């Protein structure tokens, strides 16, 4: 199979006919040229716009510049949405990623539009590198686009191989001769797709190494091996189609987590017992029944032990699933510093407001309903286990509870587990399953419900922002809001935690959520 795969966008991943041809029609009408049938404008799909306006309508430089401007006027407003992903593309890309291939988009379309289209149709998550042309006309030739894409791809993911070895395991996929010519100019395989907009025989004349008639054939070509890569084939089975096997496929990473966590817990608690003489059962009793300095020490010991266990589990899971390429830490689309800071502050505001609102609301409901079902010592232990008598000192609490624990939990639940199953299953199922597991992980009903609700938001943030830093900022801020609130004067705490204020905090959180949704093409919209 190919380790590095570059895809053209228009005519290869999506059918852009409506958006491109209607926008070309708009530009031509502005120039006084009427073309009533958009089918006559399909030759514009693929090559650079300037070249097409010059070639097909003999425009001079000034006319060409104005036509491109008019085209983009409509395309920027509605044309970019008038794309239709070809049937099976999502599945094909997922399978390529599951097999360990590095994917990139190399398009002559302006990069800003490529990014928006991929995010809008939920395809952005599959690609490690995206390169398009610049709005000022730079990098408009396909050869230049392919060259820059390969440069970025090999720099990030080809360091262990020579450039020649990388090129031997690379393919460029496209529907026009320009894609094949771009591949040949860089010495990589060129694979054509005949379901796009090439004229009959165009791809063969351009020298395509292979031609796929549909997306299924393309997947077979990309994953079935090629003359250069047979010895380097990555052995990962495709997703099973039968529902029972597919269910097992989803459960497997969570079962792996549970077994690894239990194994590492046994080792860590055994070492704790050898070093301090405190067993796991004794530590649990101290957390429930001890008071004063003894309880503070027990809380700190438990927090340190949890950090060590989680860190060990992260390392073990990473070693087990590293071929699945965990999500990157930073956003794949770089934001200006000011916009990045503003967006991170909005995520932090969302975390603080939702954590306060949900905690107050759930505490009020538990206080109201728990006595109906529990009595005496059982009721007392319920609230102790729920964490309402937390005695963590300030500095250890900030280090462990606010900074380290959210980091490790995000690495486990979002960086590894969510990322793994979201490449196989629909985003909605992946979000709900990982949130439910995150709630179960917290070990009691009250915290479990809270963690499930917060886990839903963190999973959506992770998928929408396509990185781990976003849910980590949310998680850190949520923990900080709850933990630091406990160190405020009692009078302020009583005012801040009045039950009716839970609605206010949740509404504020929804406002932050709406702002985040509005400013992202992917988050919360699919």
Active site residues: 8
Q: Give the Cα-Cα-Cα angle 320, 231, 325 (nearest 5 degrees).
A: 30
- Cα–Cα distance measured from residue 349 to residue 365, given in angstroms and rounded to the nearest whole number: 24
Mapping DSSP to helix (H, G, I), strand (E, B) and coil, where does residue 110 land? strand
Which are the contacts of 98, defined by CB distance < 8 A and separation ≥ 6? 236, 238, 239, 324, 423, 424
Indicate the DSSP class of residue 2.
-
- In a 10 Å sphere around its CB, with 0-12 CB exposed, 13-18 middle and 19+ buried, how is residue 458 labelled? buried
CB 383 within 8 A of CB 363: no
Q: Given CA atoms 423, 425, 426, 432 in this order, what sign does their dihedral have? A: negative
Long-range contacts of 183-186 (CB under 8 A, 24+ apart): 183/6, 183/146, 185/143, 185/146, 185/147, 186/143, 186/146, 186/147, 186/150
> What does each C-alpha distance from 37 to 234, 247, 361 come to in angstroms?
47, 49, 60
Closest of 149, 177, 137, 159 to residue 43, by C-alpha = 177
Q: What share of the chain is helix, strand, coil (3-state, %, to 5)?
A: 65, 5, 25
SS3 call for 498: coil
């Amino acid at each position: 199979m190919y380790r590095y795969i570059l895809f053209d966008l228009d005519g290869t991943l999506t059918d852009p006919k409506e958006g491109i041809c209607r926008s070309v029609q708009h530009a031509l009408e502005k120039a006084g040229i009427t073309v009533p049938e958009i089918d006559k404008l399909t030759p514009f799909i693929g090559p650079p716009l300037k070249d097409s306006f010059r070639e097909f309508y003999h425009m001079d430089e000034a006319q060409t510049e104005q036509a491109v401007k008019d085209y983009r006027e409509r395309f920027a407003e509605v044309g970019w949405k008038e794309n239709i992903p070809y049937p099976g593309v999502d599945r094909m890309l997922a399978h390529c990623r599951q097999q360990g291939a590095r994917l990139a988009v190399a398009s002559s379309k302006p990069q800003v539009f490529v990014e928006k289209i991929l995010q809008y149709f939920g395809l952005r998550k599959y690609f490690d590198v995206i390169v398009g042309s610049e709005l000022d006309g730079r990098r408009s030739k396909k050869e230049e686009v392919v060259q820059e894409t390969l440069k970025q791809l090999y720099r990030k993911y080809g360091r262990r191989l020579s450039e020649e070895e990388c090129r031997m395991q690379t393919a460029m996929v496209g529907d026009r001769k320009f894609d094949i010519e771009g591949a040949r100019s860089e010495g990589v395989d060129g694979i054509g797709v005949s379901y796009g907009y090439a004229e009959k025989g165009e791809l063969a004349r351009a020298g395509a190494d292979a031609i796929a008639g549909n997306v299924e054939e393309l997947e077979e070509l990309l994953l079935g091996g090629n003359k250069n890569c047979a010895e380097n084939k990555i052995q990962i089975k495709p997703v099973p189609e039968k529902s029972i096997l597919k269910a097992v496929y989803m459960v497997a990473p969570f079962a792996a987590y549970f077994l690894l966590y239990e194994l590492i817990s046994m080792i860590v608690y055994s070492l704790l017992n050898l070093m301090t003489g405190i067993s796991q059962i004794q530590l649990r009793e101290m957390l429930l029944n001890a008071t004063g300095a003894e309880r503070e020490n027990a809380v700190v010991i438990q927090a340190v032990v949890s950090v060590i266990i989680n860190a060990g589990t992260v390392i073990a899971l990473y070693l087990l699933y590293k071929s699945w390429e965990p999500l990157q830490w930073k956003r794949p689309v770089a934001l200006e510093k000011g916009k990045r800071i503003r967006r991170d502050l909005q995520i932090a505001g969302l975390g603080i407001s939702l954590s306060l609102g949900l905690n107050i609301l759930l505490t009020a409901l538990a206080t109201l309903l728990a006595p109906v079902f529990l009595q005496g010592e059982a009721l007392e232990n319920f609230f102790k286990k729920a964490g309402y008598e937390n005695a963590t000192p300030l500095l250890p609490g900030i280090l462990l509870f606010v900074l380290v624990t959210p980091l490790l939990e995000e690495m486990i639940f979002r960086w590894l587990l969510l990322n793994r199953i979201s490449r196989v299953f629909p985003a909605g199922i992946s979000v709900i399953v990982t949130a439910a597991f995150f709630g179960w992980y917290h070990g009691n009903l009250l915290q479990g419900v809270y963690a499930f609700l917060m886990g839903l938001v963190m999973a959506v943030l992770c998928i929408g922002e396509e990185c781990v830093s976003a849910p980590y900022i949310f998680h850190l801020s949520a923990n900080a809001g709850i933990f630091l609130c406990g160190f405020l004067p009692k009078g302020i705490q009583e005012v801040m935690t009045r039950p009716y204020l839970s609605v206010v905090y949740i509404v504020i959180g929804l406002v932050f959520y709406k702002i985040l949704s509005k400013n992202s093409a992917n988050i919360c919209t699919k």
